[in-house]
Amino acid sequence: MKNYQTSEIKNLLGTAKTALIAVPQLNIDSIGSALALALLLKKSNITTKVFCPQKTDANYTKLSGLELLIDVYNQNDLIVTLDYPLDQIEKVTYNQDGGKLNLVVQTKDGSPKVAENQILISNQASAADINFMLGDETLLGVNANMVNKGNWINISPTSIEKTWAKSNIIDQDAPFSEILTFLLPMLDLQLTQESAKNLLIALRVATQSFSVNVSPETFEAGAICLRATQS
């Protein structure tokens, strides 16, 4: 069983309402792990997005939570988020009123009114309450400077700690999926079937079905995920 230093991350999660997970390099291991984390943060009522500059393809369709992915990060974008069931929204339109822009969300007949506390307005120039970087931020190119704002957690399979990070979770040579399998319960984020499935898919791909770059902890992580998918 692994043991990471998580006190700073837990402190940030305790007050967080928004989260961003950045994935500089597209692969099954990093995206599957990021989506597993995102699903559990969302389950904890933290509005979460996963940013990866490359688009996924058919190889990623078995992963859960793909709707949380964004491939464009414009630091000047204004984002209006509704914590409201999508299946109860009829349509979204906009109009102009005296030079002002109105966004109109029309709910279906019989649906409850959208409450003010269900509306979250954010600007990407303002970092989320907690941010996770899964990989080397320099691969993000023009967006690499996003780490200069906000509270960042660096999760990496290399031995390089980042000075911009409030916390560095370093586990040399372990795939992201192995790290996250042990880290998430330490953060009081218990694996669900969907998150565990994502991690198990990522583990299998990262280790070529547990045949390369494995350790006893890798097999332990696989067993933890497999049990969670059966619960």
Q: pLDDT of 75-88, one tens digit each?
A: 666 778 888 998 99
pLDDT at 153: 98
CA 229/CA 198 separation, integer angstroms: 10
Range of the domain at 203: 7-77+124-230
Inside any domain, residue 91? no
Inside any domain, residue 88? no
Inside any domain, residue 116? no
Inside any domain, residue 87? no
Question: What's the predicted TM-score (pTM) here?
Answer: 0.80
pLDDT at 75: 61
pLDDT higher than 60, residue 36: yes
Q: What is the radius of gyration, based on Cα positions, of the chain?
A: 19
Inside any domain, residue 192? yes
Average pLDDT, the chain: 93
Encode pLDDT of 163-186 as tens digits.
999 999 999 989 999 999 999 999
Inside any domain, residue 163? yes
Inside any domain, residue 101? no
pLDDT at 1: 75
Residue among 218, 173, 170, 225 nearest 198 (CA): 225
Q: What is the CATH number of the domain that holds 20?
A: 3.90.1640.10
> Could you give the C-alpha distances from 100 to 57, 95, 166, 190, in angstroms and in order?
39, 8, 40, 44
pLDDT higher than 80, residue 147: yes
pLDDT higher than 60, residue 138: yes
Looking up tokens 């350790």 gives: 215
Per-residue three-class SS string for the chain: CCCCCCHHHHHHHHHCCEEEEECCCCCHHHHHHHHHHHHHHHHCCCEEEEECCCCCCHHHCCCCCHHHEECCCCCCCEEEEECCCHHHEEEEEEEEECCEEEEEEEECCCCCCCCHHHEEEEECCCCCCEEEEECCHHHHHHHHHHHHCCCEEEEECCCCCCCCCCEEEECCCCCHHHHHHHHHHHCCCCCCHHHHHHHHHHHHHHCCCCCCCCCHHHHHHHHHHHHHHHC
Residue among 16, 18, 22, 7 nearest 155 (CA): 22
pLDDT at 151: 96
- pLDDT band for 116, please (50, 70, 90 cuts): confident
Inside any domain, residue 196? yes
How many structural domains comprise the chain?
1
102 or 194, which is more confident: 194
pLDDT at 98: 83
